[in-house]
A and B are shown apart, each in its own frame.
Chain A
Amino acid sequence: MTLLIKNLGRHINDSWIVRHLNLEVTDGECLALLGPSGCGKSSTLRLIAGLDKPNEGSIYLNNKNITNTAAIDRRIGMVFQSYALFPHLTVAENLTLGMKIRGISNLEQRQKLRSTLELFQIENLATRRPSQLSGGQKQRIALARAILRDPLVYLLDEPMSNLDAQLREQLRPELRRIILNQNLPVLYVTHDQHEAMAMSQKIAVLKEGILEQIGTPQELYHEPVSIFVATFIGRPQINVIYNSSKHITGIRPENIYFNSTGLKAKLLHKEWLGTNQLLFLDTPVGNIRITVDIGIEIPEDITINWDKKHEHHFDSQTGMRIINV
């Protein structure tokens, strides 16, 4: 089963929210849609779910054009950012309502409900209402509901953004174990590059409704096609050096080291990151961030350098990568 998106576009009045979008997500593949807020990633998800109508382009699921299929017939397992649990129904009712409507027998409903509750180890929550649940529990219920939809594709819209960092780390393996192992295409929307890299095999970076780059986390990290992708992927953020009016150099903080020759720098301040430390340096080419080991001695007179092969070069007008400098 493959999700295929061809030249998808939607506009409101004169402004395009999504345009010229081409994506392919195969079985068992998780594609993260990554970008800042307002870049069109959630809009893309809504188009695939059928909640909004595209103005151009088409969507295929298993070689079947579903562009004009109604949302209720699309078999989409969606997890909303707000979870969208029905507040007046208990957890069990939330999970079985859809099955009831779709004409699944009572016996089967009960069996599926039980096995899904077991899967998430939330059997004890069946009679609770959403208002009596914690964020992490709500998130599990929302995922359980998506699974019980028996979908052809999973659409996860910022599924973890309402949870605290610790809970997110805890839920990530669970999400991988349950959703990503189902051998269905998964689209994972997030604005958190760290989460995108952790959860997905491929990342599509969107900017103002246009696909900027798609590739594995490694590709995006090592060969960003634009300064936008370079600054969006990787923390601490890449250093941007404006060489001339036409040319930008990017160099990642971890590729910079102390050296006897190179750029003279003054330490502004430093941040403890646990495994290493982040130094903010003042240099003739602007402020530079570098990461160094905790144990390392920070010299009085700092001189930094980096290898040419680690430099990324971009056109300052278009922001695009320059291959041969």
Chain B
Amino acid sequence: MKNRSIYYIAIITWSILPLAWQIYTSFSSPEALTAPILNHNNRWTLENYIQIINSDPPFWTYLANSTLVGLLTTFITLLVAIPASYALTKISFYLSSIIRLILLGAALFPYVLLFLALLEFARKLDLGNNLLALSLPYSALSMPLAILLLSSSFRDLPKDLEEAATLEGLTLLDRFRFILIPLIRPAVASTGILVFLFTWNEYPIALTWISNENMLTLPVAMARIAGSSIYSVPYGAYAAATVLGSLPLLLFVIIFQKQIVSGLTQGAVKG
């Protein structure tokens, strides 16, 4: 028992420490950061947060932008990926294997290589400086992994369940609503979070598609936080932005905690 608790403490420290370090940094004055051992009168400060929140436009704008793009992307991705992954389980095994392979290739493809081409699209179709349009490439890039994840959970569903529902008189739409989606809800939740996380962190496309100050997403906005001179790196402000930028994710995970955990262990135990 004692041995075990050592492992637990190690694992928790491993995961918590970077976060704690960020929080510590965000509340520290620049002097305290450069010389942490010395005694400072003004060791703790809210200056970093005040700077972030009072910037123009205020930091909340970026949070709202990222949240909007994230939610829209997640919605579009799931809207397409759920029926697509269902269809993958209904076509012939041979065909679905080929499609899966292609999807896997697409999912593993380093998307940074695509951003120039995507930028061309944005220019041609006049999608630049449009937050909602940003969710199009995001959904497209998230789609392969989302379909792969969801189709494996559709495949794990016993065929009998859907057939029983059919014989009960449920149409395809009814079956999705009452049987299929409730049954794969853990997978939907964890896929949704992965997609949301991807858009939350995405940098190159957001950087190239959006130039309007008011429409920046969080990562781009954070990169633009400037110090007093080019030689000073505003660690405190970065840390404050990181902490504020993580809050919505934390909220998200807490809300869907149950689904995520059961999604992770799905298939491990037969019900």
Residue numbers of A with Cβ under 8 A of B are 49, 51, 71-74, 76, 78, 80-82, 84-88, 97-98, 101-102, 131, 145, 149
Contacts and interface: CB of A to CB of B under 8 A. Distances in A.
Given A87-B183, A88-B182, A131-B271, A80 B171 contact: no
Interface string B146-168: 00000000000010110111111
**For the complex, would chain B's binding face be called helix, strand, loop or mixed by DSSP majority?**
helix
Contacts of A73: 169
A284 B178 CA distance: 66
Given A84-B158, A88-B183, A131-B271, A97 B178 contact: yes
Contacts of A82: 158, 160
A88 B167 CA distance: 18
B183 A72 contact: no
Contacts of A86: 161, 164-165, 179, 183
Contact of B271 (A49, A78, A87, A102): A87
Contacts of A71: 163, 166-167
Contacts of A72: 166-167, 169-171
B174 interface: yes
A132 to B, nearest CB: 11
Nearest to A100: B178
Nearest to A70: B166
Contacts of B183: 86-88
B11 to A, nearest CB: 31
A101 B271 contact: no
Contacts of A131: 271
Contacts of B271: 87, 131
Across the A-B interface, give the 3 residue pairs with the lowest CB-CB distance, nearest first: A98-B168, A84-B160, A84-B164
Contacts of B160: 80-82, 84
Contact of A101 (B158, B161, B170): B170
B168 A97 contact: yes
A84 B271 CA distance: 12
Q: Which of A81, A97, A131 has the most CB of B within 10 A?
A: A97
A145 B169 CA distance: 12
B178 A74 contact: no
Contacts of B168: 97-98, 101, 145, 149
Contact of B167 (A76, A81, A87): A76
Given A97-B178, A131-B271, A84 B170 contact: no
Given A51-B163, A97-B170, A101-B168, 18 more contacts: A51-B167, A71-B163, A71-B166, A73-B169, A78-B164, A80-B160, A82-B158, A84-B161, A84-B163, A86-B161, A86-B164, A86-B179, A87-B271, A97-B178, A98-B168, A101-B169, A145-B168, A149-B169
A101 B167 contact: no
Contacts of B179: 86
13 contacts: A71-B163, A71-B166, A72-B166, A78-B167, A84-B158, A84-B160, A87-B183, A97-B168, A98-B170, A101-B170, A102-B169, A145-B164, A149-B168
Given A51-B163, A84-B158, A84-B160, A98 B182 contact: no
Contacts of B174: 101
Interface string B122-164: 0000000000000000000000000000000000001011011
A191 B124 CA distance: 66
Interface in B170-219: 170-171, 174, 178-179, 182-183
Interface in B23-68: none
B167 A49 contact: yes
Nearest to A88: B182
B167 to A, nearest CB: 5
Contacts of A102: 169
A81 B171 CA distance: 23
A28 B178 CA distance: 34
Contacts of A101: 168-170, 174, 178
Nearest to A51: B163
Contacts of B164: 78, 80, 84-86, 145
Contacts of B158: 82, 84
B171 to A, nearest CB: 6
